[in-house]
Amino acid sequence: MDIERKRALVTGGAGLIGSHIVDLLIREGWQVRILDNLEPQTHKNGRPAWIHPSAEFVQGNVQDYETVRAALTDIDVVFHEAAYGGYMPEMAKYVLVNSFGTAQLLEIIRDHKLPIRKVLVASSQAVYSEGAAECSVHGAVVPLLRPAEQMRAGDFQVHCPHCGRPTSSIPTAEGTPGGGETVYALTKVDQERLVLLWGKQTGIPTVALRYSCTYGPRQSLFNPYTGVIAIFCTRLLNGQPPIMYEDGEQTRDLCFVEDIAQANLLAATTDTLDGLAVNVGSGRATSVRDLARIIAEQLGVSIEPIARGEFRPG
């Protein structure tokens, strides 16, 4: 896509990922507006110092029709990063901020015939269930969610849905069946489906980027969702062992936030991803146990992580 004027709206642009997208776009010569309500769960200390001085900052809520309508004025590309995250019990809030907020934003663009040229939405690896796996007998399989009873009994393996053998995890392709196993994940599924469907109906190009676990500077210490590296660092710096869920052998694809920002810029400036949901990650699996050791080594402390059999449903 050839963008002459390059004006972006970054919702959630005060947060971890959004703020790095803002910085990158400004370096690339874009005009940037941020819409962010400074959600206290992420921003316990108020407005963060890293909000780029060249960006126009609008403090407002994506749930608010007039705020969103005004924020969308004179914009070419929307980077929709604002979302409520965490493993919190507020079911209705997830749906309001994430699902409703996205639906309303799309409706405003359509109903007011705003000349938006592209909408990118932040989706998540959370749209998958356990992810793809490999069975020594059945090859590539899509395991069901591990039942809580199995985990309570201390078995954290992902078993083959056909023969029950333990599997090993393999990269999860975009076509892998998923659906979301937490309320947060359900709303991420909503967001990407709403955006991609609306794109088909309106003809406006859209991309859903399924980010893997993202880390980097500006990561909130208060938001329990954006957690593991920040939490392990905090424990280790206080002389405490990191506490791993499950047995610590579960793997994650950890991706540096500036790479996530770069993926957004690429997706915004090519038409090859239009209409698609796309994984964004490092392509490398790291076990939580290895991660704890890598962080300890980097911090120069020799404290081993501990696993107490705790786990989180979903």
Site residue total, ligand NAD (CB under 6 A): 31
Residues 190-249 that bind ligand NAD (CB under 6 A): 211, 213-214, 220, 223, 226
Contact flags string 85-124 toward ligand NAD, x per CB under 6 A = x-----------x------------------------x-x
> Which residue, 79 or 311, is less far from ligand NAD as judged by CB?
79
Radius of gyration of the chain (CA): 20
> Which residue, 133 or 265, is less far from Zn ion as judged by CB?
133
What is the distance of C-alpha 94 from the center of its chain?
Answer: 14
Quick check: 144 binds Zn ion (CB under 5 A)? no
76: tokens are: 């070419």
Dmax (CA) for the chain in angstroms is 59
Which amino acid, 216? G
Give the burial string for 236-247 (b: 16+ CB within 10 Å, else e): beeeebbebbbb
Task: Tell me 47's DSSP state.
Answer: S
The helix/strand/coil state of 23 is helix
Which residue in the list 184, 211, 215, 225 is annotated as catalytic?
A: 184
Burial of 187 from C-beta contacts in 10 A (0-12 / 13-18 / 19+): buried
Closest CA to 122 of 308, 279, 251: 279
Quick check: 36 binds ligand NAD (CB under 6 A)? yes
Is the separation of the CB atoms in 209 and 280 below 8 Å?
yes
Quick check: 138 binds ligand NAD (CB under 6 A)? no
> Which residue, 40 or 147, is less far from Zn ion as judged by CB?
147
Contact flags string 71-90 toward ligand NAD, x per CB under 6 A = ----------xxxxx-----
From candidates 160, 207, 209, 263, binder to Zn ion by CB under 5 A: 160
> Which residue, 167 or 212, is less far from ligand NAD as judged by CB?
212
Q: How many CB atoms lie within 10 A of CB 194?
A: 21
Quick check: 295 binds ligand NAD (CB under 6 A)? no
Residues 4-23 that bind ligand NAD (CB under 6 A): 11-12, 14-18
Quick check: 138 binds Zn ion (CB under 5 A)? yes
User: Is 184 part of the annotated catalytic residue set?
Assistant: yes
Minimum CB separation of residue 161 from Zn ion in Å reads 8
Residue 37 interacts with which of ligand NAD, Zn ion, none, CB < 5 to 8 Å by class: ligand NAD
Quick check: 132 binds Zn ion (CB under 5 A)? no
Q: Which residue pairs, CB below 8 angstroms and at least 24 apart, start in 226-232? A: 226/16, 226/42, 226/85, 228/252, 228/288, 228/291, 229/254, 229/291, 229/295, 232/291, 232/292, 232/295, 232/305
Instruction: State the Cα–Cα distance between residues 30 and 133, nearest whole angstrom.
Output: 41
The residues binding Zn ion (CB under 5 A) are 135, 137-138, 160, 162-163, 165
The residues binding ligand NAD (CB under 6 A) are 11-12, 14-18, 35-39, 42-43, 61-63, 81-85, 97, 122, 124, 211, 213-214, 220, 223, 226
**Which of the residues are catalytic?**
184
